[in-house]
Amino acid sequence: MPLPEIVSADEWRAARMALLEDEKQLTKARDAVSAKRRELPMVKVEEDYRFTGPDGEVGLLDLFDGRPQLLVSHFMFDPEWTDGCPSCTAGADEMSDGLQDHLHTRDTSLAYVSRAPIEKIEDYKHRKGWTFPWYSSFGSSFNYDFHVTLDEAVAPAEYNYRTQAEWAERDPSWGGWSGEQPGMSAFLRVGDDVFHTYSSYGRGAEWTGGSYAFLDLTPLGRQEDWEQPEGRSDALRGNSPDFAS
């Protein structure tokens, strides 16, 4: 295993200060991107989406739980599956009551939504010991409209703002998107009107989980096979974020 170079404390400090300048630039760039995200226009949600929760049928407005902002985590759970997606499960395992409380103090609700029937969701939620709100969109077009369930028989498949043809053009060997996909969507409530303000997919979900942020601070990093420098870890893993051993 090629470990970091061993140097004196003074040499380490000099290298660390050089990296600090890059980190400051990244922080400023992230702040600028966040500002642009907040300046995005929004689209009024005209569809009367219906969901099923533990207490019965609700609408999208109900998911706000009286707060002006709503984040929806699109949890991959096909109606035919017994268990939820392992990668989505790894992310949900990090969803603490404290994080929910912090969001609530900033007038923001967080809810999970999947296509699986509510009975399967409640069973899996109980087995995992989770407490966050989780609703079923089974029977509605919600997942298809927000491009996290891809089925060409239902609607043209688009993921991360590219069509199937655009993905194929980028990579001719690509086999196509289908089925359940992960994502996060943000909504704003103005009175009884709901507006869609943002959605992210793919690696955009990394910012909504904590493990990668912590691992990125370490010399061995995420220990995934794409990372540089190569060969840093003896136990390389793929880039599937399920954290399976």
Distance CA 117, CA 137 (A): 8
Report helix, strand or coil for 38.
helix
DSSP class of 153: T
Distance CA 72, CA 243 (A): 22
In tens digits, what is the pLDDT along the chain, a chain of 245 residues? 788 999 999 999 999 999 999 999 999 998 988 988 998 899 999 999 999 999 999 999 999 999 999 999 999 999 999 999 999 999 999 999 998 998 898 889 999 999 999 999 999 999 999 999 999 999 999 999 999 999 988 988 889 999 888 988 888 877 777 899 999 999 999 999 999 999 999 888 777 777 677 677 777 777 888 878 887 777 777 776 666 65
Both tokens of 165, joined, read 């043809």
**Is 62 among the domain residues?**
yes
Same domain? For 93 and 190 the reply is yes
Mapping DSSP onto H, E and C, the string for 113-140 reads EECCCHHHHHHHHHHHCCCCCEEECCCC
- Predicted pLDDT at 110: 92
Q: 145 CB contacts (<8 Å, ≥6 apart)?
A: 47, 155
Same domain? For 21 and 101 the reply is no
Same domain? For 62 and 18 the reply is no
Same domain? For 13 and 88 the reply is no
Q: Could you check whether the bond before residue 133 is cis, i.e. omega within 30 degrees of 0?
A: no
Distance CA 57, CA 179 (A): 25
13: domain range? 1-39
**Is 126 among the domain residues?**
yes
Same domain? For 24 and 105 the reply is no
Instruction: Find, among 33, 77, 26, 29, the residue nearest to 200 by Cα.
Output: 33
- Predicted pLDDT at 156: 86
Both tokens of 112, joined, read 């999970």
Q: Sort 26 into a burial class: Cβ within 10 Å, 0-12 / 13-18 / 19+.
A: exposed
Same domain? For 81 and 5 the reply is no
Query: The CATH number of the domain where 149 resides is what?
Result: 3.40.30.10
- Predicted pLDDT at 129: 97
Same domain? For 204 and 86 the reply is yes
- Predicted pLDDT at 196: 94
Same domain? For 9 and 60 the reply is no
Distance CA 145, CA 158 (A): 10
Distance CA 68, CA 209 (A): 23
Q: Give one DSSP letter per residue of 59-121, joined into a string.
A: EHHHHTTT-SEEEEEE----TT-SS--HHHHHHHTT--HHHHHHHHHTTEEEEEEESS-HHHH
Same domain? For 28 and 115 the reply is no
CB 59 within 8 A of CB 48: yes
- Predicted pLDDT at 214: 64
- Predicted pLDDT at 155: 85
Same domain? For 83 and 131 the reply is yes
- Predicted pLDDT at 187: 93
Please give the tally of structural domains in the chain. 2
Strand partners, 138: none
Distance CA 82, CA 65 (A): 28
Same domain? For 51 and 31 the reply is no
Strand partners, 57: 52
Same domain? For 121 and 28 the reply is no
Q: 103 CB contacts (<8 Å, ≥6 apart)?
A: 71, 109, 110
